[in-house]
Amino acid sequence: MGEHMSPAQARELAEELRHYREILGMPAYELADRLGWSASKLSRVEHGLSPISEVDVVRYGAHCGVSAEGIEALLDLCRDPGAAGYWLSKWSSTLVFAENTAAFSASYDPLVVPGMLQTQEYAAALIGQDKAEWVQVRMERQRLLNNRPFEFFIHEQALRLPVGGDRVMNEQLLKLVLVAAQPTVTIRVVPSALGAQSMFGGAFLFFRYDNHQPLVYVESGFFLDDEQHIAKYQGKLAGLSKVALSSGESREVLAEMASEVDRPEESPDAPDDVAKERLQF
């Protein structure tokens, strides 16, 4: 329900959302709790009086048991008919849907910090300052972290990749230390010292459901659900669990890494400045 929606669009979307909740028989207060909203916000959304992002439309629909096709229809209602396109693509709405309906998820990231754990500045430096909408999608997805268990396997090289400068990296690493203290989140670092044994291919997300078969999302943008692929990625998670540091050890390593980049941006000891000095001789 963006700023360009007409009042008629807003009312129609609100009616459809409320209709799905009532069909499911879910009380408004229960859905508000699942979404992390106040009861008053849910009421305003369901009466077309408060804006709602595309990500939240997907989250609302997911918690009300709406099918992927139904959610696409809901998204069509909240998109500006005069716009050249929309910023929440079909694959990303499907990813948000998969995340919100899962009972548990695990992931492996060999190159960068997982999107669900990125700070806003880290995400902007990685994606590009001109793609604020995509950064916002990542920030909105992170609200799910308090709702159910997550396990993140992050390769050490991803944590040492400089993104946005020392200050950005320091804040990013400190965020990981803080998030790892949450009871619903487990972060485990895969040490580079293991060499080839620390590599498990490209990034992937593994979703487990209470009433459905597991689902895997791979970095190329594909969802896999056949038994052969599910078994393959379950094996990768088992292997990662064997070689990764424990959650406690990982928090210590993350804190140490944060300290390593805790220095002024203009410090004469910063790598870029040292390189410039050497070039002068």
d(CA 259, CA 174): 9
Helix (H, G, I), strand (E, B) or coil at 217: strand
Average pLDDT of the segment spanning 125-140: 82
262: left (phi over 0), alpha (psi -120 to 50) or beta: beta
Upper half-sphere CA count for residue 264 (Cβ side, 13 Å)? 5
pLDDT band at residue 89 under the 50/70/90 scheme = low
Per cent of the chain over pLDDT 90 is 52
d(CA 30, CA 35): 9
CA distances from 176 to 56, 107, 116, 144, 168 (A): 24, 15, 11, 16, 13
Helix (H, G, I), strand (E, B) or coil at 189: strand
- Radius of gyration in angstroms for the set of CA atoms belonging to the chain, rounded to a whole number: 21
Which amino acid type is present at position 213?
Q
pLDDT digits (tens, 9 = 90+) for 55-64: 899 999 999 9
Count Cβ atoms below 10 Å from residue 105 Cβ, excluding itself: 22
For residue 241, what pLDDT is reported? 96
The DSSP output letter for 201 is S
Let me know: does 106 contact 204? Beta carbons within 8 Å: no
pLDDT band at residue 85 under the 50/70/90 scheme = very low
pLDDT digits (tens, 9 = 90+) for 16-72: 899 999 999 999 999 999 999 999 999 999 888 888 888 899 999 999 999 888 888
Q: Which residues pair with 185 in a beta bridge?
A: 150
Count Cβ atoms below 10 Å from residue 177 Cβ, excluding itself: 18
Let me know: does 20 contact 64? Beta carbons within 8 Å: yes
What are the structural domains of the chain?
7-91 (1.10.260.40), 102-267 (3.30.870)
Strands 150-155 and 185-190: parallel
Upper half-sphere CA count for residue 198 (Cβ side, 13 Å)? 19
Six token digits for residue 35 = 């979404």
Greatest CA separation for the chain: 75
For residue 4, what pLDDT is reported? 55
Residue 216: in which H helix or E strand, if any?
strand 215-218
Helix (H, G, I), strand (E, B) or coil at 191: coil
Instruction: Return the HEC string of 156-176.
Output: HHHHHCCCCCHHHHHHHHHHH
